[in-house]
Structure 1
Amino acid sequence: MRQCTLLQLNRSGVYYWPVPESEANLELMRLIDAQFLEAPYYGSRQMTRHLRRPGHDVGHKRARRLMAGMGRRAIYQKPRTTVPHPEHRKYPYLLRDLVIDRPNQVWCSDITYIPMRKGFLYLVAVMDWHTRKVLSWRLSNTMDAAFCVEALRDALVRYGTPEIFNTDQGSQFTTPRFTEVLE
């Protein structure tokens, strides 16, 4: 015990002996490495499908563990749905301590993304906070404000005007094209 103190080793480091990877895992790691050079956007599930085609028995959790051990992570463009525009006006948050107890008192809107095989589709939804009903929605393959304005106009035509409209401060919701419809 005194030797461990002098060497400044943790006790767990003395008793832990890493187990080397099996030959089967090493072969899978070689295949993963070769495919990753060809398709660095493959995640563990796509890599699993790639490995199963020639007949290797591998699940996505095993592929994920092997990829993580090799330091391989899928490279792909991640969407940024909330990006404020520096020239757009910022609006105050009106919902602090507000009791929402009736329809059309507060509406909200947000953008999310749906991953597709090559890229993303963006979904905007307008929702009533009290009823939790989706009043309107639109899909787009770009983050332009036009599809947000369309969804807003559709909700206003169908359900009237809310007292408060709440969104994040993303550029699609602070653009004059969007705010003029609300004003």
Structure 2
Amino acid sequence: MEPENDRDPYPWIIWYIWKARNDKLFRGIDRDPGDLVRHAESECQAWHNARENMNTVQVIQEPQVLSLGDICMIDGSWTSMDQFSGLGWVWKNSRGNIQLMGTRNLRRRESALHSELEALKWAMETMLQHSDCQRFSTDCKDLITMLTEPQVWPNFSTELVMIQTIKLCYSDFKICCTKNRKYDS
């Protein structure tokens, strides 16, 4: 079997074990082994699906009714004094009803933008598993700029490559900037 057609997840698992080892050694972050294996397998599957989608022509039926569609709103929190960063997302349907939400507490990231990117990555991965939501919203204008002009942000290249890889799984990914009037000043 040619290497590009080999769907064996073991190289992916080994790679994520190596990354988890580095996180443990250099950042003090422990990863759950079961989550690590599941994540590696899903990344392997997503990569192969994205490659197949690039080689096939897809015909998408447009709906006959106008719909605002689902949206996933994301946010990250970060302060230089806290030990942890916070991530959150809320998936709402076209009527504005909450369908699913998630919050997570992680060791403090390098910057507020790193937290925002981590929140987007997590929300994108979760939406792929639980919905067909294609639209995302953030209150961080720099995040939008990073996604449209990644070459201007070389310090975030690793994170942006991960986002771009996940984006391949979306047929019509969109992200917009909205002000979170309720919580942000």
Give the TM-score category using the shorter length: 0.3 to 0.5
Please say which structure displays the higher CA radius of gyration: 1
Instruction: Choose between structure 1 and 2: higher helix proportion.
Output: 2
